[in-house]
Amino acid sequence: MEKRPIVIIDGLNIFLRMFMANEAVNGDSEPIGGVYGFLRFLDTTLYRWSPSKVIVVWEQGGASPRRKKIYPEYKENRSKIKSYSKNDIKEVIKNDLENRVKQLTMLSNMLKLTPVCQIFIKETECDDIIGYLIRSVYQQDNALKIIMSSDKDFYQLLDQENVVIYDPAKKITIDHSYVLDKFQIHPRQICLARTIAGDPSDNIEGVPGVGLKTLSKRFKCLQEASKDITLDDLLVESQSLLKANQKLQAPKDIIASEEVIRRNWKLMYLNSSNLAAYQIEKIHGTLEQHEPKLDKFGLIKEATKNKLNIPFDFNNFCNLLKQNLLFE
């Protein structure tokens, strides 16, 4: 019998997407779109994928101390607070940290009453936890692993067997062939390529003028699927290209930026090196101690307390939770 999928949700990524887009309010006219949108997303996920497990991975947001130690400017662009005019109410609400925290707390409390497993580890990033789940905890599990996120950092995990990404922004399921077709770079090499191109969203500078398109054109080895291509391999290839044509700029810039690229690898590659031993232990402890259960009346009580109107068929939602996460 074929195993049902394991769904791993990038909690803050999905929540913030809903928080920014959904304008729903509760009975007190308080913004509640993040909670509404996330629950609806979960309902749709259960219906579409029929997973055997749903794991929501949370983070505080911002940079982990380990990465900040490597590169103090990492994610600095995300800490800048925008200012809005008093008339721009929607933007003020979106920048309301107090309401955001309130909604996150409410959502987490509601999920505790469901069979969904939640993982939160202090001083680390969601990417590292999900990377560890995929590359270590569930690597030998032949079930399909579905990562729910619009974060391109997860493309590197598509080199693992039975892993796909569902991007809610594009509303598409991404696999290794999608990455290869779009970038002409195999997922096994995509992290190396991105360490060279940089990542403006995380304030990681790359090699100026050398993007993924240039890399795929100059370095066909980045399409390699059978082995890891290292920076040392690319440096040798760059020297070879320059011997054939001294006018090529990209190989020169890559050689000159070796130190920056090696630093970026430490920032961008998802493995256990960015997790402390106690954090790894807590991940395993959370998974082992999780006991799937559904408290339907508790959910109703929580919704009533917060003056929520569940924006979909609540009974059907509970049935989906039961059928998928409580019964094998």
pTM over 0.85: yes
Token pair of 94, please? 């979106």
Backbone dihedral region of 105: left (phi > 0), alpha (psi from -120 to 50 degrees) or beta? alpha
Whole-number Å distance between alpha carbons of 126 and 21: 22
Secondary-structure class of domain 183-268 per CATH: mainly alpha
Closest CA to 10 of 130, 117, 102, 101: 130
Helix, strand or coil, per DSSP, at residue 181: helix
Residue pair 175/38 in contact by the 8 Å Cβ criterion: no
Whole-number Å distance between alpha carbons of 214 and 226: 22
Helix, strand or coil, per DSSP, at residue 61: coil
Q: What angle do CA 314, 106, 145 make, to 5 degrees?
A: 70
Residue pair 189/228 in contact by the 8 Å Cβ criterion: yes
Residues of the chain with CATH 1.10.150.20: 183-268
Residues of the chain with CATH 3.40.50.1010: 6-181+271-325
Per-residue pLDDT of the chain (328 residues; tens, 9 = 90+): 579 999 999 999 999 999 998 888 888 888 999 999 999 999 999 999 999 999 999 998 888 899 999 999 999 876 544 443 444 444 545 567 889 999 999 999 999 999 999 999 999 999 999 999 999 999 999 999 999 999 999 999 999 999 999 999 999 999 999 999 999 999 999 999 999 999 999 999 999 999 999 999 999 999 999 999 999 999 999 999 999 999 999 999 999 999 999 999 999 999 888 899 999 999 999 999 999 999 999 999 999 998 888 767 899 999 999 999 997 6
Whole-number Å distance between alpha carbons of 118 and 12: 12
Q: What percent of the residues of the chain are helix, what percent strand, and what percent coil, each to the nearest 5?
A: 55, 10, 35
CATH classification number, 6-181+271-325, choose in 3.40.50.1010, 3.90.1580.10, 3.40.109.10, 3.40.50.300: 3.40.50.1010
Q: Which residues contact 154 (CB under 8 A, 6 or more apart)?
A: 10, 127, 130, 131, 147, 165, 270
